[in-house]
Amino acid sequence: MTQSTPDPVTSQETLLVRSTATGFEQAIAAMAGLFTAGPLGVLAAWGAIRGLQGKWAPWFVLGIPAAIALNIFQIALLAAIVGTSYTEDKQPIEIDQRGENQEQIIHI
């Protein structure tokens, strides 16, 4: 984005350049974040490209370790959720000295 503005020192018109990420760049960054780091990666990638004003090189440098950390966090969170919801309905089996299987009865 460019805009001309008067220079207060020389009274000449100068060109003001602002570097921002376009909507297309933000969408591409968000999709890359989704495919590499899951749902949290979308937010991280989108926020990073906006914060870095559309500069892709630092976005990659920050994104690679961030994707690894986000994936570890999300997998651990998913494992904790699945682990707490899984219940086992099987009775424990005890093997007696003759080698035959006998079910152990547990009274609750």
- Digit-coded pLDDT (tens) for 58-99: 999 999 999 999 999 999 999 988 887 665 555 555 555 555
Interatomic CA distance for residues 41 and 66, integer angstroms: 8
66 Cβ contact partners less than 8 Å away, ≥ 6 residues apart? 37, 41, 44, 48
Q: In 3D, which of 30, 86, 23 has the Cα closest to residue 63? A: 30
User: What residue ranges do the domains of the chain occupy?
Assistant: 21-85
Q: How confident is the model at residue 10 (pLDDT cuts 50, 70, 90)?
A: confident
Q: Please give the Cα distance from 2 to 40 (Å, whole number).
A: 33
Work out the widest C-alpha separation in the chain, in whole angstroms. Answer: 103
- Residue of 11, 96, 21, 102 whose CA lies nearest to 58: 21
pLDDT of residue 103: 58
Give the pTM: 0.61
Question: Pick the residue with more confidence: 95 or 21?
Answer: 21
